[in-house]
Amino acid sequence: MTALSPDRPGKTRLPLTLESLKRQRSKDGFGQVFQGLLLFSVAIAFAMVATVLITVLIDSSEVLRGQFWDFLTNKSSSDPAKAGVAQGIRGSLIIAGIVTLVAFPVGIGAAIYLEEYAADTPLTRLIEVTVRNLAGVPSIVYGLLGLAVFVQGLGGITGGSSVISAGLTLAILVLPIIIITASESIRAIPSSLREGAYGLGATQWEVIRTQVLPAAMPGILTGAVLSIARALGEAAPLLVIGAAAFYSTGFQGQLDQMQGAFTALPMNVATFAKLPADVWAGHAAAASVVVLVLVFSINLVAIIARARLTKKLGR
């Protein structure tokens, strides 16, 4: 493939080949400097993450080697030899389930309305700005909201300081993230896809259900995974709501589990970290490893699902 250089006074028009274009780009000093800065930034980010992972793995090695299964299956205890995170794992999984059941339908529905149904009015723009601002509100503020609404206001339904209150609070916390990511994914779908479906006689809901949502689902799924990861790692709202550090009620019935005392993995990490480091530092690091494995597992499932959806859609 060749191209002709633009006319210049006193110069003949010379063909530009792909090789000559590459040579011209290689002489772009500023571009090479910028590329080097980008690579340097990636290397710093990777080094920081690797440092954290290596440090956590080293600190947790003694606990994971000596009492790995007991640590995963034992309930909370003030005795280092018996302390485990079984109740924390269960609490985190229940919270993740509540977040999924509450935040995802509401967030995706709000995104569909804002992008496909709502007119471009000052009220709509105000709602969008408000949602984006809410995504940056500190998590402890949502904890205070959950304390006032779900623990005190609706305590007769939620059980007060319970895993239900925690799940609903974290669902509200991640709701703006889900709305934003879902809106951006829907907005990225080309208008030609909608116009083609309308041309075949489809209604607006049929266009959304059969064309827009399937095409936007990979991006929506990415936002959902990020939301679950944030919800699983938040400790401040749980502290405000009243999650227990240690409790010895055992494994209760299902209703008692949902409305009674609870804990979660972030609470286990925070509690272990506050105790004397010479005894509990390994427990805090081991609980952190469990959190990381849980989050990575959810991410892996989402990546596989996204890859299959993308392959199915041929994108």
Domains and CATH numbers, the chain: 51-313 (1.10.3720.10)
Q: Name the one residue in this structure whose structure tokens are 């929506």.
A: 220
pLDDT (tens, 9 = 90+) of the chain, 315 residues, equals 444 444 445 444 445 565 665 565 555 677 788 888 999 999 999 999 899 889 888 888 888 887 888 888 887 777 777 888 888 888 888 898 999 899 999 999 999 999 989 888 898 899 999 999 998 888 899 999 999 999 898 888 888 888 889 999 999 999 999 999 999 999 988 888 888 888 888 888 888 988 888 888 888 888 888 888 888 888 888 888 877 766 544 445 566 667 777 888 888 888 888 887 777 888 888 888 888 888 888 878 877 877 777 777 655
Q: DSSP states of 192-241 as a string?
A: HHHHHHHHTT--HHHHIIIIIHHHHHHHHHHHHHHHHHHHHH--HHHHHH
Q: Where is 15: in which H helix or E strand?
A: strand 15-17
Instruction: Flag whether the pTM goes above 0.85.
Output: no
Q: Where is 280: in which H helix or E strand?
A: helix 277-313
CB 186 within 8 A of CB 212: yes
> Residues 306, 311, 312, 315: what is their CA dihedral angle, to the nearest 10 degrees?
100
Tokens of 5: 């250089």
